[in-house]
Structure 1
Amino acid sequence: MNRLIGLFLIVLLGTSCAKEENLIPDVPVNFSAPLTDPRLSRLSAAGGAVSLTSYGVAGIVIYRRADNAYVAYDRCSTVNPQAKNAVNIDDPNLTATDPISGAKYSLYDGSPVKAPAKTSLKQYNVTIAGNTIQVIN
């Protein structure tokens, strides 16, 4: 009987963990540009955000936080990630929304702020060297 209960618990834990897994594919990301690049003009002040296509799974979002730190996320929504729906930056630049599911994410840390999102956006590493920003994974 104890073996049966143990097996049941293992199966239950295994299936519940699989549902929360972030299935955004790992793809190479290597974006680099001077901060004076016109595409990045909205990053000149804290709270600015830009979205760029052709990087990551569905593009990338770069956000300049109030503490002047930069963060970057894949634009691929974590709701039905196999569809590769790109989130759009909201106005003001505090959140990004998946236009298909309505899921909303904080640009400060990528966390979900509105259902059906349960998992944060995939985050990439950002470095600043001199006047150049680089987003990599």
Structure 2
Amino acid sequence: MKFALATLVLVFLLVGCGKERLNIPNVPVNFSGQLTDPRLIRLSSPGGAVILDNYGVAGIVIYRTQFSGYKAYDRCSTVNPEKQCAVELDDPTFTVTDKCSGAKYSLEDGSPAKVPAVLSLKEYQVTVAGNTIYVTN
């Protein structure tokens, strides 16, 4: 009985010592822009999304949700984040795709929409004051 229990504990330990999950690195993000800026014009209606390079790990994607709010995510895919593969906007822009792995993510909440993604995109804080949108962490 002791041998069976020890074997069972050993099996659980070996299974639990799998590959550690990699996270998206924390880097400072501080973007602000006028919603009338031509780069952001696609945010004027729900379902619109824009990509901005040179922010976050692999750039950021800002999305106007169906309920008139805004979401912002790092473009770095959570599938093999060490490769820093940037997600691309799909058409229509309700999802983004990691071209390296084929994973898809919902822009409404950043959640995985297609395997091999199991972790959500890294989300940043979005604030709108007047006609200015701020994306920070």
User: Residue 15 of structure 1 aligns to which amino acid in structure 2?
Assistant: C
Alpha-carbon separation, structure 1, partners of 2:135 and 2:15: 35
Q: Over residues 6-37 of structure 1, what are the superposed CA-to-partner deviations in whole Å (9 max), with x where a residue is unaligned? A: 96488468536x64x45100000000011111
Aligned mates of 2:29, 2:15 — CA distance in 1: 33
Partners of 1:75 and 1:100 lie apart in 2 by 13
- What code does the residue aligned with 2:48 have? G
Structure 1 alignment gaps of length 5 or more = none
**How many positions carry a matched residue from both structures?**
135
CA contact (8 A) 1:22 1:119 kept: no
C-alpha RMSD of the superposition? 2.0
Structure 2 unaligned segments of length 5 or more: list them: none
**In 1, Cα distance between equivalents of 2:22 and 2:136:** 19
Residue aligning to 1:38 = 38
Runs of 4+ in 1 over 6 A off after TM superposition: none
Identity value in percent: 60
Q: In the superposition, relative to structure 1, how do residues 118 and 56 fare at CA in structure 2: closer, same or farther (>3 Å)?
A: same
TM-score normalised by structure 2 residue count: 0.88
Mapping of residues 49-128 of structure 1, within 5 Å: 49-128=49-128
Distance in 1, matches of 2:115 and 2:74, equals 19
**1:134 is matched with which residue?**
134
The answer to whether the aligner puts 1:15 opposite 2:17 as a matched pair is yes
